[in-house]
Amino acid sequence: MTCLPATVGLGWRPETAWLIHQRAAELGFCEVIAENIRLDRPLPAALAQLVERGMPVVPHGVSLSLGSAEPPDPARLDHLARVAERLHAPLVSEHVAFVRGGGLETDHLLPVPRTREVLDIVVDNVQRAMAVLPVPLALENIAALFQWPDQELDEAEFLAELVARTGVRLLLDLSNLHANARNHGWDPLAFLAAVPLAHVAYVHVAGGIERNGFYHDTHAHHVGAGSLELLAAVRARAGQVPVLLERDDAFGTRAALEAELAELAHITDMGAAGA
Amino acid sequence: MHEREARARLAAAQAEVVRALVADGPVPPGFDSAHIALARQVLRDKQAHIAHRRALAAARATQRATPWATDVRRPLWRRVLARLAWKTR
């Protein structure tokens, strides 16, 4: 259920653009934050070059808020669709989350209450989004800072039902899964057994840090052993699935980033693009 | 009808949580107050980080626009030349 090559990829940032350009033969795809792409001006030159050369670039939205009570905003959906067209993207991704409420923005991905009533709302929101988008949609599981009381479904069940009812793909974030397992006492392997891995379009891994007994998904540290173990588990259960390394800050040396990418390629037995 | 009511219920619940996180609202009943307190801090740190990056970008833009005024590390003669060049552009 993927439209991406079975390789390792890297999140496109101005700080990683040069590395992606240099390693375009090995890195089979990349991902860019959709809200950072302005449609009223040319693409950043480095990104335009990648698109021209045929590298798949996935627009990753962070503000659609498909977990909100309101249906997705047509203007935000339109922006996401047009970015997908501009980048010739094979798919777009977003999150099972809400980011605003009561007229206030939070600039953060927040967990939805996992009840059947809310599932119906999210199913409807996702179907509306899929009707507008020109390419398939994949939804990411987020790292939850808190849990709602009185939930009816666990996260794997919620995602499995969402996939069954809408046909949406999954962007399986293994570091978010690790974070939730650590912070809320879940079994991550039980999650992997219950979630429809055949519908995973690609996987995210990112670094994080444990502070005062709470794991923070920072995207600013080396990918930890917990995430890497889950990556090996996915490899064992689902074969070669594209994996994207997310890094948003504290980029460190180029050598360190390259070593991390090599580590991911080794764990997943995925070599160069087209190999 | 049922859908509208369900959405209204969710909207109210989410508004309460968001107010607790970013507007000093009370912790809604049933939530772990330690987790909400941590979430408030994470969101505050994130906002500070976003504001910091925006300020840096704005400072860089200002410096590009008026190099003679803001680049105090450059020697005086360079700054005077740059100002003359800017004035005669």
CB spacing of A106 vs B18 below 8 angstroms: yes
The pLDDT tens digits of the residues spanning B36-78 come to: 999 999 999 988 988 898 898 888 888 777 756 655 677 778 8
Share of chain A above pLDDT 70, in %: 97
Question: What contacts A259, CB < 8 A, 6 or more positions away?
Answer: none
Is the CB of residue A204 less than 8 Å from the CB of residue A248?
A: no
Chain A residues within 8 A of B29 when measuring between CB atoms: 149
Nearest CA in chain B to A100: B18
Band of residue A273 on the pLDDT scale cut at 50, 70, 90 = very low
Residue type, A31: E
Whether A275 shows a pLDDT value over 60: the answer reads: no
Whether A2 shows a pLDDT value over 80: the answer reads: no
The pLDDT tens digits of the residues spanning A172-229 come to: 999 999 999 999 999 999 999 999 999 999 999 998 888 888 888 888 888 889 999 9
Task: Give the per-residue pLDDT at B63.
Answer: 75
pLDDT higher for A194 or A22?
A194
Task: Give the per-residue pLDDT at B31.
Answer: 97
Whether A10 shows a pLDDT value over 50: the answer reads: yes
> How many angstroms separate the CA atoms of A168 and A138, rounded?
6
The structure tokens listed for B85 are 């060049």
Task: Give the per-residue pLDDT at B71.
Answer: 57
Rounded to an integer, the average pLDDT of A133-144 is 98
Q: Is residue A145 within 8 angstroms of chain B, CB to CB?
A: yes
Q: Is residue A40 within 8 angstroms of chain B, CB to CB?
A: no
In the predicted model, what is the mean pLDDT of chain A? 93
Measure in Å the smallest separation between the Cα of B89 and chain A Cα atoms. Answer: 26
CA distances from A215 to A65, A140, A232, B29 (A): 24, 18, 20, 24
Residue type, A41: R
Residue A60: strand pairing partners:
A33, A93
Among A142, A113, A145, which Cα is nearest to A214's?
Answer: A145
Task: Give the per-residue pLDDT at A248.
Answer: 81
> How many angstroms separate the CA atoms of A136 and A94, rounded?
11
Whether B88 shows a pLDDT value over 70: the answer reads: no
Reported ipTM exceeds the 0.85 cut: yes
Task: Give the per-residue pLDDT at A272.
Answer: 47
Please tell me which of the candidates A108, A117, A148 has its beta carbon nearest to residue B43.
A108
Rounded to an integer, the average pLDDT of B9-14 is 98
Rounded to an integer, the average pLDDT of A157-184 is 97
Rounded to an integer, the average pLDDT of A250-255 is 80
The pLDDT tens digits of the residues spanning B17-35 come to: 999 999 999 999 999 999 9
Task: Give the per-residue pLDDT at A159.
Answer: 98
Rounded to an integer, the average pLDDT of A141-168 is 97
Task: Give the per-residue pLDDT at B87.
Answer: 67
The pLDDT tens digits of the residues spanning A71-125 come to: 999 999 999 999 999 999 999 999 999 999 999 999 999 999 999 999 999 999 9
Burial of B50 (C-beta count, 10 Å sphere; 0-12/13-18/19+): exposed
Task: Give the per-residue pLDDT at A274.
Answer: 38
Task: Give the per-residue pLDDT at B74.
Answer: 72
CB spacing of A102 vs B29 below 8 angstroms: no
Measure in Å the smallest separation between the Cα of B50 and chain A Cα atoms. Answer: 10
Please tell me which of the candidates A100, A106, A113 has its beta carbon nearest to residue B13.
A113
The structure tokens listed for A165 are 């009812």
Among B88, B4, B69, B39, which Cα is nearest to A147's?
Answer: B39
The beta strands (E) that lie in chain A are given as 8-11, 30-33, 57-60, 92-95, 98-101, 104-110, 137-140, 169-173, 200-206, 209-211, 214-216, 243-246
CB spacing of B14 vs A149 below 8 angstroms: no
Whether B89 shows a pLDDT value over 70: the answer reads: no
Task: Give the per-residue pLDDT at B4.
Answer: 93
Rounded to an integer, the average pLDDT of A24-45 is 93
Chain B residues within 8 A of A69 when measuring between CB atoms: 7-8, 10-11, 14
Is the pTM of the predicted complex or chain greater than 0.80? yes
